[in-house]
Amino acid sequence: MSVTKIIKNENGMMLLNILFFILFLGIIVVTLTTMVIADFKMQSVNMDRPRALYAAQSGVEYTLRGIMEYAVGNGSLGGLEGYTETIDAGGGATADIHISVIGLDSIVIKSIGRTANFSQTITKGLTYEDVSNYAVYAGGSVSKVSHSGGGLGIKSGAAHMPKFDLDVLRNRAKPVHYFPGNLKINSPFTFVQDVAYVEKDLSILNHKFIFLSGVLGDFVVGRKIKLNSTLISFYNGIYYQPNVSTFKALGGYRLYYINGGIITAGDVTGKNYWFFGMHNNLLVHWKRNYISNFMQNSVNGGPLVVYNTRWFRQH
């Protein structure tokens, strides 16, 4: 064999080895690229699952806020039966919402969070009481009190009271209508621009020889409320007692007319007087819009008190 042939054979073997090396390197590159793409897709899928769950939770929270806003202007949630909506939950996720109304005090929210690869469903049920449907809503007893104007009248022994951030109410009353101690109102007519906050007792003791008197505005009172006023007294607004205490209308031959509502954790007591028959001296005329507007200050942002929450399923 000549030297020339040997060189040619060696060159052929080297070229063949180079081709095999390039092919092997290409296989490695393709394999690594495939693995990286698969890992990226897996990570994306793993991220989609919690995003779908977050979207479903966002749908529930969004719906709860909407229900509270709806309840401010509506005495019944029946109009929400069968309501559906799709919202953008961010990050490419959406939430499909469906509302079911059950009777007069229960509602079910179904929220399906969706991403490109997953869907997660949360179904939440809640039972509620609409405080704004009552002229008097009391955690204690109610006696010798009348109501007018419709609604559901008087609720005594309420097991579930609305919750307020009292510091927010204090700040709304300050500086003019915040009273760190007791407050006695003796003037015939009193006007409160927004809300008055009395840390202790409120006594309205207008001079008894004045035939007519009036107090306009909402009051938050930390302890007792006592009315012992003129022959006919007119009160326009909401009276709220967050603590267990008493609301008393004194004087049998006087008429106390509240145009608005009473929300109290304690007892409400009036007296009887005779005028061609026995009558109660405390009359509360139900004004739902007054009550629902005041209840927007509650932690729920509306007149509903939610007292039983149920998670039916999550998948």
**CA pair distance 281, 250, nearest whole angstrom:** 8
pLDDT given at position 10: 57
This prediction's pTM: 0.81
3-state secondary structure 23-58: HHHHHHHHHHHHHHHHHHHHHHHHHHHHHHHHHHHH
pLDDT given at position 118: 86
Q: How confident is the model at residue 216 (pLDDT cuts 50, 70, 90)?
A: confident
Residue 283 in any domain: the answer is yes
Output the average pLDDT for the chain.
Answer: 86
Locate 39 and state its tokens.
């890992």
Task: List, in sequence order, every residue forming a beta bridge with 248; answer none if it has no partner.
Answer: 226, 269
Q: Are 118 and 196 in a shared domain?
A: no
Residue 200 in any domain: the answer is yes
The predicted-structure confidence for 175-189, as pLDDT tens digits, reads as follows 999 999 999 988 777
**CA pair distance 144, 24, nearest whole angstrom:** 97
Query: Which of 106, 130, 154 finishes a domain?
Result: 130
The predicted-structure confidence for 6-58, as pLDDT tens digits, reads as follows 455 555 667 666 776 677 677 777 776 776 665 555 555 556 778 888 999 99
Q: Are 143 and 280 in a shared domain?
A: yes
Locate 134 and state its tokens.
């009552």
Q: Are 179 and 285 in a shared domain?
A: yes
Q: Which domain holds residue 185?
A: 134-295
pLDDT given at position 276: 60
Domain total for the chain? 2
Do residues 314 and 121 lie in contact, with contact meaning Cβ atoms separated by under 8 Å? yes
The predicted-structure confidence for 227-264, as pLDDT tens digits, reads as follows 987 778 889 999 999 999 999 998 767 788 999 999 99
Is the model more confident about 171 or about 91?
Answer: 171
Q: Are 145 and 287 in a shared domain?
A: yes
Question: Residues 6 or more apart from 302 whose CB is under 8 A from it?
Answer: 67, 68, 69, 71, 72, 292, 295, 296
Q: Are 224 and 267 in a shared domain?
A: yes
SS3 13: helix
Q: Are 65 and 190 in a shared domain?
A: no
